[in-house]
Structure 1
Amino acid sequence: MRTERVGLIGVAIALLVGALLALLSGTGPGGAPATAASTVSYPPLLKWVLWGTLGLFAAVAVAWVVLTYVVGAGYEPPPIEYGPETVQVRILTVDAESVVQRTVDSLPDALADVHVVAEEPLDVAGATVHAVPDAFECTAVRKGRAIEWARRELETDREFVLYLDEDSLVESFEGLPDADVVQLQERPRRTGSVLSHLADVYRMGVQLEQRAFARLSIPLFAWGGGIAVRSELEDAVTWDRETLVEDTAFVWAAFEEHDADFALASAVCRNEAPPSLYEIAQQRRRWAAGNLQAASMLPARYRLLTRIRNCAWALSPIVTLVAVPLSLLGVVVYGGLFVLLSALLAAFTVFWYLRGVFVYGRERLTLALATPLAPLVTVVHSMGTVAGILAPPDGFRVTTKTGGD
């Protein structure tokens, strides 16, 4: 389709921009020799690291702009065509009974077919609880294993199955549009660490690119905390694959093998931001490692884009915490191009944070006051990604939920 070609052309341009900037670094700091006034000498390796990072992050920033404001331009959630009576809800948990109860209580009365799929027997009012038998075996692991058991064992004549995480408080839900995969939007709420919450606010700004996914042949990622899939498609694709990112892997398989279509819904879930820096690091670690591993099922162009994006997010703090401070000296040492690019990319990180703030309604003012912390927030957002690339986890780790506000 035309928008798909525009998106891929934009990505190609972005990568060329990154390559050009890297080449410029080889002609001397900032593409020009240092002036005689310079008394500071930086190691060549530092120059390559800084320019390589700036080039990579610039490429991803350009690709994001193309996806969000060219491919995704004018996208609005499609009209609702299937009411709540056509949806079966399945809430996934290990054993967080009180957390699940709040999620069930948040559901509108029209969502009457509600099931909780847990690892242990629970007592949850307003839902039918199922414990996955220890003897059940399949290729999928942990959360994916529970979803696959539910797919096989829970009968439904509903058009859609809506999957929610144990902490996904449904803020609004009137029904679903006519699409095979419908992604609900998220709005993480603070339950512990302030920096952890701010990192998720930052992520909401970046996630604006989701509005382009309906116009791509394959969405770049999925969020399993609030996602509806057509029952017929679920049975065709299944969840039976070993992966750390069962939601994204399912969507990639659905689009690559079954020509599915995607819609971003207007419905919102108020999920929990990880309660501590350790928890958010482990969450991001799993996401990064899982995406890189699952990328093998993608076409080459998407596989390359996914890997470049992960590396760029891992290195992004270098822009605000290293490149920008050095660029103050770079007027002499690295030249004007380094200064300009550093400032532009730093502005992108601030923009993403502020764009995330924008979705929070009455909380906007309070969150906006934390804008000076944006450089630190990028570190919190990316530190787990670094770990996921360098030291992938051995297995699936569930992010701790508190059940708080």
Structure 2
Amino acid sequence: MNTATLSSPLSITLLVLLGTLFVLYALSALWWLYEVFVLSRNRDRDRDRDAEAFEWGLEDVQVRILTVDGKRVVQGTVDAVPSAIDDVHVIAEAPMDVSGATVHVVPEEFDCEATNKGRALEWASRTLQCEKEYVLYLDEDTIVTDFTGVPDADVVQFTELPIYTGSWFTYCCEVFRVGYQFEQFGFPRLRYPLYAWGGGIAIRRDLEERIGWDVGTVTEDTNFVWRAAREKGFSFRVVDARFRNQAPPTISAMIRQRRRWISGSLQDGGILPLSYRPLYGTRVVVWACSPLVLIWILGVVVDTGTAGLPTRAFGGISAALAVVLVVFMWFGIRAYRLEPYLWPAFLLATPLAVVLHAAGAAWGIVSPVSEFQVTEKIPPETVETVNPALERGDIRAHDGTESLVGEGPQASETGGKVEVEVEVEREDEVEEQEHEQKQKQEQEGDRARPLD
């Protein structure tokens, strides 16, 4: 674009549109900085205090794990639940045997407005007996870590740290996303938390009974929190426990996941009060259009000689906004405690992470989904195979009150072997068969034992 062409109506329209986008992007970036550095300013003090003395202990928690039919994945999740919790339930769509948990299959005849995962949540809420103070909901792949109790709040969000599953590209995007999600520590000071993660969220039992899950949506977690926030006196807390869930194993799976997230945001945005909608709508548009910031910078660099003043000005604004994108990645690097020698690789990969992370969001705006699509998961044995930081059996032996891979740097997650050998898969099958045989023998022994 040059000075001569700026007078054309098309060029003027383009500059106005880009200028509007950059203003929205700048406002969104400033809001994130405000959340992280102002609203979250007491986060470290609160987190350290809560780690020592929560108001509610593990004995006050019932665990519910949602799955379709991922038996091997769910078994790893159940194995990682702290031993102090003896009330563990798996809500599934097909029968399965899971050691250490009671499995419930949602009846086909059960009918409600909610569908898919929401339908399972609603059935469990209506059917399962719970005498605990809190219900902790986990996804089928959530490995509980550093879980020692629950602070006294209506909804408690536990932070996440997706683990490497074989794709460096999706892992890089998750590092970027986790960095952005540092804003969650400011959500307790907002009337309406801007989103929630249902893979690690504790809900006060009586609140769930009042609010319920019977709503047609593809983002049940955020939808529930927004409806709950309407209640007077609603309280929300964030605990920096960094539960380990799985990064999507492929780029296509990640894009479909982001598409579902943005679709749910567009569908449920009407729940928010009018004062929140401009903020939330701006964030949705900015997420999908963020690659334009990088494209504009590239265009200015390539066309430096003929670029007019407005073009160069937008290029400067784009560069400043791109710095904020790098800040997101830097916060993700901090959360993952990556080895210093890996910092340059992840920082330089920020543009790639931005584009891939935004692809699904843009797709969701153009073509929203109305059905819940489960993101592909891989068995714990495969996760251990591709992660040098983990050894075979680490997930099964893990106690949820501790960190999964220790307190030190966790960067070696990305150094594992991406392809799993056929021999390893066969070994997994043999180990699974042995585990099932042992469980069967224990059950037969229980039936043979005389009653007291």
Instruction: Say yes or no: TM over 0.5.
Output: yes
**Cα deviation per residue 1:11-62 (whole Å; 9 max; x = unaligned)?**
xxxxxxxxxxxxxxxxxx9xxx9499x9xx9944443343233222111101
1:394 alignment partner, one of 340, 364, 370? 370
State the SS of the aligned residue for 2:103.
strand
Alignment partners' CA distance in 1, 2:343 and 2:178: 13
Identity of aligned residues (%): 42
Preserved contact between residue 263 and residue 369 of structure 2 (Cα < 8 Å): yes
1:150 alignment partner, one of 113, 124, 140? 124
Alignment partners' CA distance in 1, 2:34 and 2:230: 22
Indicate yes or no: 2:350 matched with 1:377.
no
Partner of 2:296: 323
Alignment partners' CA distance in 2, 1:197 and 1:301: 35
Preserved contact between residue 24 and residue 286 of structure 2 (Cα < 8 Å): yes
Alignment partners' CA distance in 2, 1:98 and 1:367: 34
Residues 3-402 of structure 1 correspond to what in structure 2 (within 5 A)? Answer: 34=3, 43-75=11-43, 76-77=46-47, 79=50, 80-320=54-294, 322-328=295-301, 329=303, 332-335=307-310, 336-362=312-338, 365-366=341-342, 368-402=344-378
Q: Normalised by the size of structure 1, how large is the TM-score?
A: 0.87
Alignment partners' CA distance in 2, 1:84 and 1:252: 26
Q: 1:363 to 1:275 in 2, by over 3 A?
A: farther
Alignment partners' CA distance in 2, 1:200 and 1:227: 19
Counterpart amino acid of residue 165 in structure 1: D
Preserved contact between residue 357 and residue 368 of structure 1 (Cα < 8 Å): no
Alignment partners' CA distance in 1, 2:342 and 2:255: 24
Q: 1:174 to 1:374 in 2, by over 3 A?
A: same
Alignment partners' CA distance in 1, 2:339 and 2:92: 33
How big is the shift at 1:394?
A: 3.0
Counterpart amino acid of residue 33 in structure 2: V
Preserved contact between residue 357 and residue 364 of structure 1 (Cα < 8 Å): no
Alignment partners' CA distance in 1, 2:108 and 2:229: 32
Preserved contact between residue 217 and residue 370 of structure 2 (Cα < 8 Å): no
Greater C-alpha Rg: 2
Alignment partners' CA distance in 2, 1:114 and 1:372: 43
Partner of 2:445: none
Moved more, 294-303 or 364-373: 364-373
Alignment partners' CA distance in 1, 2:377 and 2:209: 30
Preserved contact between residue 205 and residue 353 of structure 1 (Cα < 8 Å): yes
State the SS of the aligned residue for 2:137.
strand
Alignment partners' CA distance in 2, 1:372 and 1:356: 14
Alignment partners' CA distance in 2, 1:97 and 1:363: 34
Alignment partners' CA distance in 2, 1:233 and 1:373: 42
**Cα deviation per residue 1:251-292 (whole Å; 9 max; x = unaligned)?**
000001353101101322110111111111111111101011
Counterpart amino acid of residue 179 in structure 1: A
Preserved contact between residue 214 and residue 263 of structure 1 (Cα < 8 Å): yes
Measured on the aligned residues, the alpha-carbon RMSD in Å equals 2.1
**Cα deviation per residue 1:133-153 (whole Å; 9 max; x = unaligned)?**
111111111101101111111
Moved more, 225-234 or 105-114: 105-114
Moved more, 308-317 or 256-265: 256-265
State the SS of the aligned residue for 1:185.
strand
Aligned length: 370
**Cα deviation per residue 1:353-376 (whole Å; 9 max; x = unaligned)?**
111111112556436523211111
Counterpart amino acid of residue 87 in structure 2: D
Alignment partners' CA distance in 2, 1:300 and 1:253: 14
Counterpart amino acid of residue 341 in structure 1: I
Counterpart amino acid of residue 351 in structure 2: P
Q: 1:368 to 1:159 in 2, by over 3 A?
A: farther
Partner of 1:16: none
Alignment partners' CA distance in 1, 2:82 and 2:365: 40
